[in-house]
Amino acid sequence: MTTHAPSEGQRALRLAIIGAAGRMGQSLVHAARARSDVIIEAGVVSPSSELVGRDLGEIAGIGALGVALTADLPAALAACDVALDFSRPRATAANLAACTAAGKPLLIGTSGLGPDVQHELERAARHIALLVAPNTSLGVTLLIELARQCARALPGQFDIEIIEAHHRHKIDAPSGTALALGHAVAESRGVTLDPAVLLHRVAGGHARRQGDIGFAVVRGGDLVGEHTVLFAGPGEQVTLGHRATDRGVFARGALDAAVWLARHPPGRYGMRDVLLKQ
Ligand SMILES: NC(=O)c1ccc[n+]([C@@H]2O[C@H](COP(=O)([O-])OP(=O)(O)OC[C@H]3O[C@@H](n4cnc5c(N)ncnc54)[C@H](OP(=O)(O)O)[C@@H]3O)[C@@H](O)[C@H]2O)c1
């Protein structure tokens, strides 16, 4: 993992946060303040935002940082080494295009990206270092690896169910992390993931089919994020889980990943690379 101080003779990595006025944007501002190897140089808000021109630090409640929120993404990128996108899926294509044009590495933390954007992700990754991470917690990254191993080790009669719970404001479901867990265990079992299993259950009339990977979704209150992978076999169950109690884990992991990404050549990366490949 990175140390949180720049190596001798190196300057702090300059970051642009896209979605700077959102919950994760604010969390990144707080997390960045605790370390000296990164500095937030630009905060980008949506073009319709009334916050353009306001100070990023004041919005985050930590006092003025001298960084005025902007909707001008190309100008923000010109002043930065790496961009972190925690905004909305509808902004992803434009963010990819801007980062590619500027030749700047991009970490996309925004979740709920549709299949329509996959081609653009692949295209961008030929020109810039691109890390797509619907969950930037290092603990969740490890959970995905453990789930992968369990799915490989346990026989097929162990049914796999993925249960996730998030705060009442979360829009996409199942969460990007639940889907990432689903893809990981499906890959280990050599099957294709069908997230529609969740909908079949809601519609009723379908018993569980052998090999289904099921999803269950809970939304309520201020739950930060919980993921459980249940391997339910005959007469025994194995349960793997992760609970985030503080949004800061995502921000701290994202900053570690941004520092990692800045050292790597163009290509498509995930948090797994940050965890396993130093
Ligand atoms: N990777 C992870 O570990 C992780 C952790 C938590 C959340 N997330 C994901 O990160 C995303 C943001 O989460 P959040 O909780 O911070 O949501 P949020 O509080 O709603 O913040 C999103 C922000 O993005 C802004 N935005 C929308 N379009 C934009 C654009 N074109 N350019 C710049 N900013 C734009 C929104 O501004 P307006 O309101 O003005 O549109 C809003 O301020 C979601 O997809 C969420 O699921 C990922």
- pLDDT beyond 90 at 5: no
DSSP strands (E only) in the chain: 13-18, 38-44, 82-85, 106-108, 129-132, 159-166, 213-219, 225-233, 236-244, 267-269
User: Measured in whole angstroms, how far is the alpha carbon of residue 141 from the centre of its chain?
Assistant: 10
User: pLDDT band for position 7 (50/70/90)?
Assistant: low
Residues 70-81: what's their mean pLDDT?
A: 98
Residues 213-222: what's their mean pLDDT?
A: 94
Residues 139, 181 contacting (CB under 8 angstroms): no
Residues 1-10: what's their mean pLDDT?
A: 60
**Bridge partner residues of 68 (DSSP):** 55
Q: Which of 261, 272, 269 is nearest to 84 (CA)?
A: 261
Q: Which of 210, 111, 202 is nearest to 157 (CA)?
A: 210
- What's the whole-model pTM score? 0.87
250 ligand 1 Cβ < 6 A = yes
Per-residue pLDDT, 250: 95
- pLDDT beyond 60 at 3: no
How confident is the model over 104-128, as pLDDT tens digits? 999 999 988 988 999 999 999 999 9
Q: Mean pLDDT score of the chain, rounded to an integer? A: 92
- pLDDT beyond 80 at 198: no
- pLDDT beyond 70 at 244: yes
Per-residue pLDDT, 202: 67
Residues 153, 166 contacting (CB under 8 angstroms): no
109 ligand 1 Cβ < 6 A = yes
Selecting among 104, 166, 227, 242, the annotated active-site residue is 166
Selecting among 170, 183, 200, 264, the annotated active-site residue is 170
User: Measured in whole angstroms, how far is the alpha carbon of residue 6 from the centre of its chain?
Assistant: 24
> With 0-12 CB in 10 A as exposed, 13-18 as middle and 19+ as buried, what is 33?
middle
Cα separation, 257 vs 269, in Å, equals 10
What count of other Cβ atoms lies within 10 Å of the Cβ of residue 47?
Answer: 11
Q: Which atom of ligand 1 is nearest to the CA of 253?
A: 3
How confident is the model over 134-193, as pLDDT tens digits? 889 999 999 999 999 999 999 999 999 999 999 999 988 899 899 999 999 999 999 888
Residues 247-271: what's their mean pLDDT?
A: 96
- pLDDT beyond 80 at 278: no
User: pLDDT band for position 267 (50/70/90)?
Assistant: very high
Cα separation, 227 vs 206, in Å, equals 24
112 ligand 1 Cβ < 6 A = yes
Q: Which of 46, 17, 47 is nearest to 30 (CA)?
A: 17
More confident: 2 or 13: 13
- pLDDT beyond 90 at 209: no
Per-residue pLDDT, 77: 98
Residues 211-223: what's their mean pLDDT?
A: 93
Per-residue pLDDT, 2: 43
How much helix, strand and coil, in percent to the nearest 5, is found in the chain? 40, 25, 40
170 annotated active-site: yes
166 annotated active-site: yes
Residues 213-234: what's their mean pLDDT?
A: 95
Helix, strand, or coil here: 45?
Answer: coil
Q: Which atom of ligand 1 is nearest to the CA of 250?
A: 3
